[in-house]
Amino acid sequence: MAPPACSPPSLTLHATGQELTMGIDDIMRIVVPCLPAPFFPAAGASRPSPSARVGGGGGEDRISRLPFKVLSEIVSRLPAKDAARTAALSRRWRRVWASAPLVLDDSDLLVLPRRGRSDYLPVDWCAVTDAVSRAIGSHRGPIRRVRLTCCVMWLVQRLGMLDYWLRRFADGGAEDLVLFNRPQPKGLYLPADVLRIASLRTLYLGFWTFPDIAGLPRGPAVFPHLREIGLFCVLISTGELEHLLACSPVLEKLAIVACFYFSHYVRIGSSSLQCLVFWKSLTYELAVVVAPHLQRLILLQDYPDLSNPSLRRTRVRIGYTPGLSVLGYLEPGMHQLEIGGVSIESGTKMVPSTMVPSVKILALRVQFGIRKDAKMIPAFLRCFPSVETLHVMSHEADEPTGKLNLKFWQEVGSIDCLETHITKVVFDKFRGERCELAFLKFILERAQSLLKLVVVLANGDQASVDEMLTKLKPLTTEKRASECPTLLAVARDGDSPWCFQRASDLSVSDPFDW
Mind listing the pLDDT tens digit for each residue in 278-312? 999 888 899 999 999 999 999 998 755 444 455 56
pLDDT value at residue 165? 94
Q: Pick 514 or 148 by higher pLDDT.
A: 148
* pLDDT tens profile 317-328: 999 999 999 998
Say if residue 67's pLDDT is above 80.
no
Residue with the larger pLDDT of the pair 509 and 5: 509
What pLDDT does residue 24 have?
Answer: 76
| pLDDT confidence of residue 244 | 96
The three-state secondary structure class of 340 is coil
Give the model's pLDDT for residue 312.
66
For 59, residues 6+ apart whose C-beta sits below 8 A from its C-beta are none
Q: Considering only CA atoms, which of 488, 486, 510 is closest in space to residue 498?
A: 510
- Mean per-residue pLDDT over the chain, rounded: 83
Look at residue 470 and tell me whether its pLDDT is greater than 70.
yes
Q: Is the pLDDT reported for residue 420 higher than 90?
A: yes
Indicate if the pLDDT at residue 180 is higher than 70.
yes
Comparing 91-95, 237-241, 334-338, 483-487, the range with the smallest average pLDDT is 91-95
Task: Work out the percent of the chain whose per-residue pLDDT is above 90.
Answer: 46
Which stretch, 77-86, 178-187, 295-304, 449-458, has highest mean pLDDT?
Answer: 449-458
pTM of the predicted model, to two decimals?
Answer: 0.86
* Tens digit of each residue's pLDDT (9 = 90 or more) over 96-126: 766 678 889 988 877 665 555 544 456 677 8
pLDDT at position 387 over 50 = yes
Using alpha carbons, select from 151, 149, 204 the residue that is nearest to residue 175. 204
Which span out of 13-27, 120-134, 409-423 was modeled with the highest average pLDDT? 409-423
Q: How many Å apart are CA 445 and CA 61, to the nearest integer?
A: 74
Is pLDDT of 91 > 50? yes
Average pLDDT of span 235-242: 92
Cα distance between residue 311 and residue 289, in whole Å: 22
| Local confidence band at 79 (pLDDT 50, 70, 90 cut-offs) | confident
Instruction: Give the pLDDT score at 199.
Output: 97
Is residue 68's pLDDT more than 80?
no
Find the range with the poorest average confidence among 28-32, 116-120, 229-233, 486-490.
Answer: 116-120
Give mean pLDDT, residues 36-50.
Answer: 60
DSSP string over 268-332: EE-SS--EEEEES-B-SEEEEEE-TT--EEEEE------SSGGGG-EEEEEEE-TT--EEEEE-T
pLDDT given at position 60: 60
pLDDT for 483 equals 83
The predicted pLDDT at position 490 comes to 85
Q: Which helix (H) or strand (E) holds 425?
A: strand 424-430
Closest among 284, 156, 175, 267 to 225, alpha carbons compared = 175
Tally of CB atoms within 10 A around 230: 24
Percentage above 70 pLDDT, the chain: 79
Q: Is the pLDDT of residue 506 over 60?
A: yes
Tell whether the model's pLDDT for residue 463 goes beyond 90. Answer: no
- Cβ proximity of 107 and 65 under 8 Å: no
pLDDT at residue 52 is higher than 60: no
Q: For residue 182, give the nearest of 216, 143, 208 by alpha carbon.
A: 208
- The answer to whether residue 458 scores a pLDDT higher than 70 is yes
Per the CB < 8 A criterion, the answer to whether 503 and 300 are in contact is yes
Residue 116: per-residue pLDDT: 52
Least confident span in 34-48, 265-279, 327-341, 465-479: 34-48
Mean pLDDT, residues 409-432 taken together: 93
Residue 397: pLDDT band with limits 50, 70, 90: confident
Number of neighbouring beta carbons within 10 Å of residue 120: 9
State whether residue 438 is helix, strand or coil. helix
Q: Which stretches within 36-122 are classed as H helix?
A: 50-55, 68-76, 80-85, 91-99
Contact 159, 184 (CB under 8 A): no
